[in-house]
Amino acid sequence: MRKASSLDIAKPFNSEKIAIDGSASQTYFAAMTTRDIITNKLREAFIPESLEVQDESHLHEGHAGHRPGGETHFRVYIVSPAFKGKSRVERHRMINATLAAELAGTVHALAIHAQAPGEGG
């Protein structure tokens, strides 16, 4: 087993499992949920004043697009200055473009409620 170095604090953290005899080791990384990925992408793209991403997959069991384990149907509530002066269709297109990879992959449905600051409803 190697000694700890003062440089270890500069290295990215990962969880390492080492057998008692010090032989086999494996590294495990926690997987991000689809909800987390959507949240992170929207935060980065739109710097929202408020953002809520709800996984509604459990409401669609037995319907088209649902898979065991869920993470297929989402609802997004987002308020961002980026939407000021944009139509509802433009806002949806902006969000769909940001989440294109997810929509082409595991996400079957995305309900969007996008507003600019100060808008009601």
- The fold for domain 34-115 equals GMP Synthetase; Chain A, domain 3 (3.30.300)
Tens-place pLDDT, residues 35-89 = 999 999 999 999 999 999 999 987 756 666 556 566 789 999 999 999 999 999 9
For the chain, helix (H) and strand (E) counts, in that order, are 3, 5
Residue 15 three-state SS:
strand
Tokens of 9: 């604090």
State if pTM tops 0.85: no
